[in-house]
Structure 1
């Protein structure tokens, strides 16, 4: 379930956020085109006797919101998804606003560069006791005790100058010497109630990077955010049990006990909205794994993007696809499921490579993906989101495709909640990140939270175990043998052709 779509990987480096263009591309990023203004005399006046006047007002309001969004784009260097420039690691991820200390030189004491706005406004705390609920879950359902890491631990010494949550190690009640499963560390990140309590934006990213560097001595780290714990508790509890090897509460299914089928977009979206931590997104290719019994239960889903023509070295029109989403049913361990789904996709489409992104909040590619054949291409910086602490911790996203501004009830299409048109209008005149954070908190009680970034992975089909599945498809399409090139110097074409066959 560690995959994300392209929109979640629109991240740029610190220099790119300042220059507003990619150093790997000579093309300057441009802002989205101006919205089309309709001629109401020709198109709307003949319908006055049938369409209420408030519909016209709504149309004008939507245009005004679009202009507000564009002014926000111009102010913070965010680029629309309709104007994509692809570079070496695909679509560079873009953040809504950079943390203020990134605009100054980073010293040995990163915390000294953080300039937080002063405010006297206070807001209520969460009614739930986050850490107590986490400890109760591990105690009662996993027979595991959470023990804080000692203050002299290497990881804590590395982030002592950053504001951070609490890092725990997991201790089983009845340790089994025959059990070789290594329990992860748990990093609890409570939602801040004010800007002064905000977690440093680089904390989670730094911890995961250190763990990846010393992966043979430090177990994987799971970063648990308070807002996600209460909004997706069923999914998170299932994943924690799987990470901790609680097999007694997990149903184990082997890939040989399932069959692969193409499914509809509606089927995949319903499944992902229920079982994936990041909800569903649009995809061209949707595959599902069904059990072979009478029920034919859908137990796993993988979705893929259309083909993207890229150029690598001297190989034009390189066939590349994106694994956008993958997840299994909650409380289910599917052995070999992703490999079987990838094999079915390769057999039908015959790609040259498959790209994907994994959520570093739940570990790195070393945990599972490297064993399949994926390689690390890049590690993206953290992305900033905001949590609405007045609406019981609703997480709101600042950028991304299929991002819809919230209604009164907070519901959105696709499950990605925006900050609202009123908040967008308020921050459209801000010129610094500090001003944006001050406005969002003082007026709307929204505080920023940061993830650990994502890891960009690539699977080169040629030479992998999946190469044999693409032979017949390549012959039917009269394609030459797939080139074998490293994942460097990639430049993706602007045009995206339709899939043949």
Structure 2
């Protein structure tokens, strides 16, 4: 709460549906998640409790809370603090109509995603960047973004092909999307998605929404349909540098003194651009 009050935001500790929360700004609900599980079983029990709490909070308030985990707060400090402020309506407003699409190289995408995406870069085939064309935006206590700034990146996989009747379906995964964390980018996801569709002309695109951040309704506004849920992943946390390592079901656990965290899983979305069964 010290960070919030230091940014002139009113905040207080509270409780919703039995879950301790921080209430801040105009209706902001923050769930701070400490990492104190010293084995996988404890992490799984904590995750079950957190999933239930998030569901109850949404049922009571109609809002999906922002979950702030201890490791992210330390390991991705700048991104997390900017996202927290944006969640509380402190951001620079940028519109996609004031930006242009450029294809970007692997290094540019990797550097941007390392700084601005929860899980950094991932294997992909297509990379697009959204660059600001001119000075614009609502100034929320920080300098306006200069023209030429890379404000968002989207990456897509190579095609996976399968046969449906007498036709070959080319399916792709939208592997990553990230924007500058202190920016509210209106229309950015749609503009990047349309650039990929125009160039590649896919039959099918699938993607995942990490439930640690949101349920992914933004994908529904882009025409995607909810198809299912991806199981939670358990991570080992090295508290010396707060890095996450995903644990394999048949692999060993981490070293002495590490902590464990199980995320909330992901919602799976699919956009069908070709009519097939």
Task: Name the structure 1 match of 2:140.
Answer: none
> 1:111-126 counterparts in 2 under 5 A?
none
Q: Which of the residues 254, 258, 279 maps onto 2:99?
A: 258
TM-aligned CA deviation for residue 392 of structure 1:
4.3
Task: Name the structure 2 match of 1:168.
Answer: 21
- Contact 2:86/2:181, CA 8 A, preserved across alignment: no
Task: Name the structure 1 match of 2:133.
Answer: 292
Task: Name the structure 1 match of 2:53.
Answer: 207
- Contact 2:37/2:260, CA 8 A, preserved across alignment: no
Distance, in Å, in 1 between the alignment partners of 2:230 and 2:259 is: 22
The 1:240–1:258 alpha-carbon spacing in structure 2 relative to 1, beyond 3 Å, is: same
Task: Name the structure 2 match of 1:383.
Answer: 233
- Contact 2:40/2:234, CA 8 A, preserved across alignment: no
Distance, in Å, in 2 between the alignment partners of 1:259 and 1:148 is: 43
Task: Name the structure 2 match of 1:370.
Answer: 220
Give per-residue Cα distances to partners, 1:14-66, cap 9 Å, x unaligned.
xxxxxxxxxxxxxxxxxxxxxxxxxxxxxxxxxxxxxxxxxxxxxxxxxxxxx
Q: Which of the residues 321, 330, 340 maps onto 2:181?
A: 330
Q: Which of the residues 269, 272, 277 maps onto 2:113?
A: 272
Distance, in Å, in 1 between the alignment partners of 2:8 and 2:262 is: 28
Task: Name the structure 2 match of 1:192.
Answer: 36
Task: Name the structure 2 match of 1:355.
Answer: 206
Higher normalized helix content (fraction of residues): 1
Task: Name the structure 2 match of 1:318.
Answer: 169
> 1:473-492 counterparts in 2 under 5 A?
482-485=274-277
TM-aligned CA deviation for residue 193 of structure 1:
6.4
Distance, in Å, in 1 between the alignment partners of 2:115 and 2:40 is: 35
Q: Which of the residues 148, 153, 156 maps onto 1:304?
A: 156
Aligned length: 264
Give per-residue Cα distances to partners, 1:317-371, cap 9 Å, x unaligned.
21211111111123122110111111111000011121111110112022x2222
Task: Give the 3-state SS of the residue equivalent to 1:143 in structure 2.
Answer: coil
The Cα RMSD (Å) is 2.7
- Contact 1:364/1:455, CA 8 A, preserved across alignment: yes
Give per-residue Cα distances to partners, 1:431-490, cap 9 Å, x unaligned.
xxxxx55xx45xx322321111111111223xxxxxxxxxxxxxxxxxxxx3254xxxxx
Task: Give the 3-state SS of the residue equivalent to 1:373 in structure 2.
Answer: coil
Q: Which of the residues 254, 267, 276 maps onto 1:455?
A: 267
Task: Name the structure 2 match of 1:143.
Answer: 9
Unaligned stretches of 5+ in structure 1? 1-134, 157-165, 176-181, 401-426, 429-435, 462-481, 486-501
The 1:257–1:196 alpha-carbon spacing in structure 2 relative to 1, beyond 3 Å, is: closer
Task: Give the 3-state SS of the residue equivalent to 2:212 in structure 1.
Answer: helix
| 1:446 counterpart = 2:258 | yes
- Contact 2:75/2:241, CA 8 A, preserved across alignment: no
Give per-residue Cα distances to partners, 1:155-174, cap 9 Å, x unaligned.
x3xxxxxxxxx5315243xx
Task: Give the 3-state SS of the residue equivalent to 1:362 in structure 2.
Answer: coil
Give per-residue Cα distances to partners, 1:74-132, cap 9 Å, x unaligned.
xxxxxxxxxxxxxxxxxxxxxxxxxxxxxxxxxxxxxxxxxxxxxxxxxxxxxxxxxxx
- Contact 2:38/2:260, CA 8 A, preserved across alignment: no
The 1:457–1:167 alpha-carbon spacing in structure 2 relative to 1, beyond 3 Å, is: farther
| 1:395 counterpart = 2:244 | yes
The 1:136–1:264 alpha-carbon spacing in structure 2 relative to 1, beyond 3 Å, is: same
- Contact 1:265/1:282, CA 8 A, preserved across alignment: no
Unaligned stretches of 5+ in structure 2? 135-145
Task: Give the 3-state SS of the residue equivalent to 1:245 in structure 2.
Answer: coil
Task: Give the 3-state SS of the residue equivalent to 1:396 in structure 2.
Answer: strand
- Contact 2:233/2:247, CA 8 A, preserved across alignment: no
Distance, in Å, in 1 between the alignment partners of 2:50 and 2:130 is: 34
Higher normalized strand content (fraction of residues): 2
- Contact 1:251/1:332, CA 8 A, preserved across alignment: yes
Distance, in Å, in 2 between the alignment partners of 1:305 and 1:188 is: 34
When normalised by structure 2's length, the TM-score is: 0.84
Task: Name the structure 1 match of 2:190.
Answer: 339
When normalised by structure 1's length, the TM-score is: 0.49
Task: Name the structure 1 match of 2:141.
Answer: none
Give per-residue Cα distances to partners, 1:128-166, cap 9 Å, x unaligned.
xxxxxxx1122222513132215xx2xx3xxxxxxxxx5
Task: Name the structure 2 match of 1:223.
Answer: 67
TM-aligned CA deviation for residue 395 of structure 1:
2.2
- Contact 1:148/1:167, CA 8 A, preserved across alignment: yes
- Contact 1:205/1:451, CA 8 A, preserved across alignment: no
TM-aligned CA deviation for residue 299 of structure 1:
1.2
